[in-house]
Chains A and B, each alone.
Chain A
Amino acid sequence: MDRLSEVSASLVGGFEYNCIIFFCTLVMAVPLGLVITFGSMSRFKPLKWVSKTFVWIIRGTPLMLQLFVVLYAPGLIFDIPIKSRMTAVLIAFVINYAAYFSEIYRGGIESIPKGQYEAGQVLGLTKPQVFFKVVLFQVIKRVIPAMGNEIITLVKDTSLARIIGVTEIIMCAERFTKQGLIWPLFSTGLFFLAFCGILTLLFGYIEKKLDYYKG
């Protein structure tokens, strides 16, 4: 019995890190992604080029490698080492997910018919008004399924933090294997399953809420 409570305390403690990484990444990457989208859709060529290259690099390299780069590069190149490993994890995750989100947003924005913009324009709305009052809501409805997919991936990616020594749940569970206990490691799957289950229900609910109109 003592063993069980010891293991669960350790796993819950580790899963706290997963949750922190998840929520912080989500809160920061969702708006940052929109900024990158505006960059990659910009008519100002240099900005567009920089944004597209950025997205290419981030999507074209493993998140695991990006974690190492964020942890070591500032110290090696600029001589300002990152003090907290958690900070490095958050920076890498936010950048990585913002790049993916930005491409989902871009797809959503480009799928809105031109007529919506034109209707707003002839009614005398400014470009920001057209975007925020007419287009954005329709984009949100269209990107929700893809975002749900990506956000569920994020839950599981949080376990990558262990690669630079953040004691998230899998790292905690692995310690027990050295004591000959394998079941704690396997049982971490339940935490992820439960979390993703809740998210699946939540996204299902949101999709249903937005289903009041078609188009």
Chain B
Amino acid sequence: MSILEVNNIHKSFGKTKVLQGVDFTMERGEVLVILGSSGSGKTTLLRCLNFLETADKGKIFVDGRLIFDADNKQKPSRAEIRERQLNFGLVFQSFNLFPQYSALENVTLAPKLLAKERADFKRNKAAIYDEIEKNAIALLDDVGLKDKMNNYPCELSGGQQQRVSIARAMAQDPKILFFDEPTSALDPELTGEVLKIIRSLAAEHKTMVIVTHEIEFARNVADKIVFMSEGVIVEQGAPEEVIDHPKQERTRAFLNKLSK
């Protein structure tokens, strides 16, 4: 069964049609890279999948379960919203770390707040918090920032901030981790450290959807590439097919522009 199935997603802002029927599926452990020029709808697609925007039309299934249906006008309950949200994690282009919290607190904040809803929270508070912190420190260690865990975001470089935000997204153990141009806000010499972390996640078979402009990185890390243009998927397939032997004119034009 596919871990994610996206059906006919449409989204307009006023008269501008940004997504005009996007369909794709992905399997557990797969890394999907979305390519496309700016304005092609990549970011809007990611935002619809993470419920930061509400799609006008379409359905989203996770593990075969319908978690979003635009035709269902019934407002989901708070518990439902949270449950569907926790399927996914999102790493933003601009990090969006919480500036008043240390790196460690950024990672533990959401798990600690969510833990309060556990039935055994009152009895085991200390143990639960302890476990959350241990897990967070391990995640920060994975992204190479254990020694910076008590630093505030303003004391970290862009690359380090983005690595903290990857650890923060991982702390909720999402089924699928999304990246929205994770290196676009970074100086060129800092992109490497972030891409390295994403590569290591791919090696661990974390299911990921990545929007990026880094073609070489896409070629290395992707199991499948999706090329978007004008709100639809124009072409999809293995990296060597889409990047090296594109069938569509629009894909070729985009790749040509990038290589110049």
Contact = CB atoms under 8 A, between A and B. Distances in A.
Contact of B88 (A115, A122, A212): A122
Interface of B: 50-52, 78, 82, 85-86, 88-90, 92, 94, 96-100, 109-110, 113-114, 152-154, 165, 168-169, 172
Contacts, number: 62
A215 interface: yes
A137 interface: yes
Contacts of B90: 122
Contact of A118 (B78, B86, B92, B165): B92
A214 B154 CA distance: 6
Given A124-B172, A126-B82, A214-B154, A118 B113 contact: no
A123 interface: yes
Interface string A4-32: 00000000000000000000000000000
A134 B98 contact: yes
Contact of B110 (A116, A125, A213, A215): A125
Interface residues of A, number: 22
Contact of A124 (B82, B97, B100, B154): B82
Given A121-B85, A122-B88, A215 B94 contact: no
Contact of B114 (A124, A214, A215): A124
Contact of B153 (A113, A122, A129, A215): A215
Contacts of A134: 98, 109
A121 B172 contact: no
Nearest to A210: B100
Contacts of B168: 123
Given A124-B82, A126-B82, A119 B50 contact: no
Interface string A111-143: 001011011111111100100011001100100
A137 B100 contact: yes
A118 B52 contact: yes
A215 B154 contact: yes
26 contacts: A115-B94, A116-B96, A118-B52, A119-B92, A119-B96, A119-B97, A119-B98, A119-B165, A121-B52, A122-B50, A122-B52, A122-B88, A122-B89, A123-B110, A123-B172, A124-B82, A124-B86, A124-B110, A124-B114, A126-B82, A134-B109, A141-B100, A213-B100, A214-B99, A215-B153, A215-B154
A122 B98 CA distance: 13
A111 B150 CA distance: 26
A123 to B, nearest CB: 4
| Nearest 6 A/B pairs, CB to CB | A215-B99, A123-B110, A115-B96, A119-B96, A214-B154, A122-B90
Contacts of A121: 51-52, 85
B99 A138 contact: yes
A118 B154 contact: no
Contacts of A126: 78, 82
A116 B100 contact: no
Contacts of B86: 124
A176 B99 CA distance: 55
